Amino acid sequence: MVAGQHATGTELSSAVYQSVLDGMRTSMLIVAASGEVLAANRAWHQLPTLHRTLPLRVDVGDNLLELGTKDTISASAFCRRLLRGLEAVLSGSRERVTLQPSPNDGPPHFRWRLSAIVQHERRYAILARSNVSREFGARIRMTHSLSLFRNMFEAAPDGVLLVTADGRIHEANSEACRQFGYIREELIGLEVEQLIPPSLRARHAGLRQSFLREGSARPMALGNMKDLLARRRDGSAFSVEVGLSPLTDMEPVSTLALIRDVSKHRERMRQQLDYEKLETLRLLAGGVAHDFNNLLTLIMGTAELALAGEKQDTTRSLLQDIMEASQQAADLTAQLQSFARKDIDEPALIDVAATLRADARILQMLTGPAVQLLTDIQASELPVLMDPTRFNQVLMNLAVNAGQAMEGRGRLTFCARAIEISNASWVEISVRDTGPGIDEATLARIFDPYFTTKGAGSGLGLPTVREIIREAGGTITCTSRPGAGSEFIIRLPRA
């Protein structure tokens, strides 16, 4: 326009239009339906080399659709996608197309948008390229953080559950799946109360709601632990410690729960306490037995002298009763002294199969004639290294206990076999009776010293049996329930 001349309305509109375009930071082209570039803003002209996205300079007057026939354009996979998107927008089959090149096509932090506009019944396309490097960087950082979190989540030595506000499991790691016996797909969506024994579920639901209201973390540390019982998929219960942390930045608020299986740890602690209790009782029993044995010696000696000089039958009978009662007390004292001394075993190679066959008659006498005694020996030889006297003591003690439990009537079965556990060979001996069974509370204490359900029992039989088996390198367990009898299972290393 020549100086001094007034600009026409069309020229003014074009100038304003171009100024608006130039004021935008996004690189833009306006393309006619024919593919011709009608306008380009300053940001477009200031673009550096376009890498492999558009290898040719594109300016006003160029036809983008014709550029698609040139080898330099068609060689770029992204350019072909871009031109197909332009054709779709200009033809009316699409109103908007968004593209982002892969690292092989061009800088991935640029986003390309094609948008349709219609003016005076003519269709145009706006091609815009915006820099999304901040967004791209944030996405990379988020992806990295999520990947790091997932790796930490999976590698955690404790079970980890993400529980929503309504009490459903949203996420679970591999250790949690292993602890509870589920596969991940089964845990996701499950109500967390399903992982609690039925008798504790109502209380747990209340505690969970209380925690959500309080919103304070409860880490797994001394004084902050929540000692609970958890329930596996097969219905068995196990002891756990739970740490809780509210995730307040989630909507709605969720809870991250760390679960540690402490059942083995608690069993080791219980065994240690039992051992310390036994050691204390040994000291006490040794002192009592020593003093009591001295008194018994005096009583028995005096009674024996009196018996030798007494002529009357009545008096002699009474003295004889004193002698017999004193002898029984002496036998009990001998057991206490043996328990206190922790006598040293003399291990020898014994055959469990042969010993059971040889002792069957004695065991039958101990249980009573109305008890049917059966033996099920599943191998010709079952060698173990153990003190023979101690092994016989174990068998006889279990036989007497079973006979008393069945009140002299029932069936007692001794079964022996060879088994393999974790590439180790064992001899397993089971002693199964048809007695009334044992309730859960009593079963937990049957190996405790001096614990007895018999009025006249010493409470030392089963603790002594367990100690003998442990010293031989074996284990003894008992399974029972009311009305279903009891079964003791002994496992000894096979020699």
- The domains found in the chain, sorted by start residue, are 9-131 (3.30.450.20), 156-261 (3.30.450.20), 267-341 (1.10.287), 348-493 (3.30.565.10)
More confident: 361 or 460:
361
Contact 417/378 with Cβ under 8 angstroms?
yes
Per-residue pLDDT band at 9 (split at 50, 70, 90): very low
Per-residue pLDDT band at 486 (split at 50, 70, 90): very high
Q: How far is the C-alpha of 187 from the C-alpha of 185, rounded, in Å?
A: 6
- Of 269, 284, 266, 271, residue with least CA distance to 460: 284
Per-residue pLDDT band at 202 (split at 50, 70, 90): confident
Q: Is the pLDDT of residue 352 over 90?
A: yes
Report yes or no on whether pTM surpasses 0.95. no
Mean pLDDT of the chain: 78
Q: Is the pLDDT of residue 33 over 80?
A: yes
State what percent of residues in the chain have pLDDT above 70. 75
> What is the predicted pLDDT for the residue at 42?
82
Q: How far is the C-alpha of 456 from the C-alpha of 435, rounded, in Å?
A: 19
| The two three-digit tokens of residue 367, written as one number | 């249980």
Q: Is the pLDDT of residue 119 over 90?
A: no
Find the mean pLDDT for residues 43-68: 66
> What is the predicted pLDDT for the residue at 367?
84
| The two three-digit tokens of residue 186, written as one number | 């089964």
Find the mean pLDDT for residues 48-60: 57
Q: Is the pLDDT of residue 382 over 90?
A: yes
The secondary structure of residue 343, as a DSSP letter, is P
Contact 185/214 with Cβ under 8 angstroms?
no
Q: How far is the C-alpha of 226 from the C-alpha of 240, rounded, in Å?
A: 8
Among 133-137, 168-172, 236-240, 263-267, where is mean pLDDT lowest? 133-137
| Residue 351: strand pairing partners | 383
Contact 421/467 with Cβ under 8 angstroms?
no
> What is the predicted pLDDT for the residue at 493?
93
More confident: 155 or 430:
430
What are the φ and ψ backbone dihedral angles of 386, each rounded to 5 degrees? -165, 155
Q: Is the pLDDT of residue 228 over 80?
A: no
> What is the predicted pLDDT for the residue at 222?
38
Pick from 85-89, 97-101, 278-282 the range whose average pLDDT is largest. Answer: 85-89
> What is the predicted pLDDT for the residue at 492?
94
| The two three-digit tokens of residue 190, written as one number | 């499950």
**388-405 vs 461-471: helix crossing angle, rounded to 10:** 150
- Of 148, 123, 163, residue with least CA distance to 32: 123
Find the mean pLDDT for residues 316-345: 70
More confident: 368 or 273:
368
Among 284-298, 313-327, 354-368, where is mean pLDDT lowest? 284-298
Place of tokens 């001094």: 4
Among 125-139, 351-365, 400-414, where is mean pLDDT lowest? 125-139
Q: How far is the C-alpha of 117 from the C-alpha of 96, rounded, in Å?
A: 10
* CA 229-234-235 angle, 5° bins: 40
Per-residue pLDDT band at 12 (split at 50, 70, 90): very low
Return the CA Rg of the chain. 44
Per the document, the length of the chain is 495
Q: How far is the C-alpha of 353 from the C-alpha of 381, rounded, in Å?
A: 6
Dump pLDDT digits (tens) for 141-183. 665 666 666 777 787 788 888 888 888 898 888 899 999 999 9
* CA 444-445-449 angle, 5° bins: 155
More confident: 425 or 267:
425
Q: How far is the C-alpha of 188 from the C-alpha of 50, rounded, in Å?
A: 47
The secondary structure of residue 106, as a DSSP letter, is S
Q: How far is the C-alpha of 448 from the C-alpha of 175, rounded, in Å?
A: 34
* Distance from the first to the final alpha carbon of the chain: 112
Q: Is the pLDDT of residue 71 over 60?
A: no
Burial of 443: CB neighbours in 10 Å, binned 0-12, 13-18, 19+: middle
Q: 304-342 as b/e, with b when 16 or more CB fall inside 10 Å?
A: eeeeeebeeeeeeeebeebbeebeebbeebebbbebbee
Among 162-171, 312-321, 369-378, 486-495, where is mean pLDDT lowest? 312-321
| The two three-digit tokens of residue 370, written as one number | 């109305």
